[in-house]
Amino acid sequence: MNGQLDWFKGGLLLGAAFLLAVALVKPIGVSTQFVIADGIVWNLFSDTVIKKDTASKSGYASPNAYLNKSGGKYAKNVAKPLNYSFVFVIAMVIGAFMSAQLGGPKATAQDRIAPEPWRNRFGQKPVLRYVTVFLAGVLVLFGARLAGGCTSGHMMSGMMQTSLSGYLFALGTFAVAVPIAILIYKRN
């Protein structure tokens, strides 16, 4: 693709963004916001999902054990979603759109179907690519929730804060990702 930011400059900018986030607000992590989004939709259809509860630390409670964690912290985020984390996720989508409109990376027509390494290995079958990417996304999200956080929270924010779990998560991610990529793309 054309118009991509140099990896070194991009890494410095990403590091600066993470440092600012930690210094000014809190570490970056986004996978929990998928759960919050699910809770918001669920709450639209059921008035029993979130309840005000003065006995709860957050002032909100839920019969759902996950949303009720940490004194109803996630239940409160469902009831009042306009908080830093949820707005951050929305801003990521808006930022990606703005980048595309303002001269960010431009994918060719073929790259919109699938990247060149995929096309070289599997051909130009968009359905296969879309199904594979969807299933991979589900697995990553499942793993992120199982681990109690996502790559941005564990690996990027965690490593920046010199968290042992962040380094272990990064090690595990690459220990799995590199062999899988080699198997999928048949490279030595």
Confidence at 3, pLDDT banded by 50, 70, 90 = low
Mind listing the pLDDT tens digit for each residue in 110-136?
A: 888 888 888 888 888 889 989 998 998
**Rounded (10°) angle between helices 84-101 and 32-45:** 110
pLDDT at 152 over 80: no
- Quick one: how far is CA 181 from the chain centroid? 20
pLDDT at 153 over 90: no
Mind listing the pLDDT tens digit for each residue in 37-72?
A: 899 999 999 989 999 999 999 999 999 998 998 899
DSSP string, 24-68: HT-----THHHHHHHHHHHHHH-TTS-EE-TTSSSSEE-SSTTTT
Mean confidence (pLDDT) of the chain: 85
Residue 39 has a pLDDT of 92
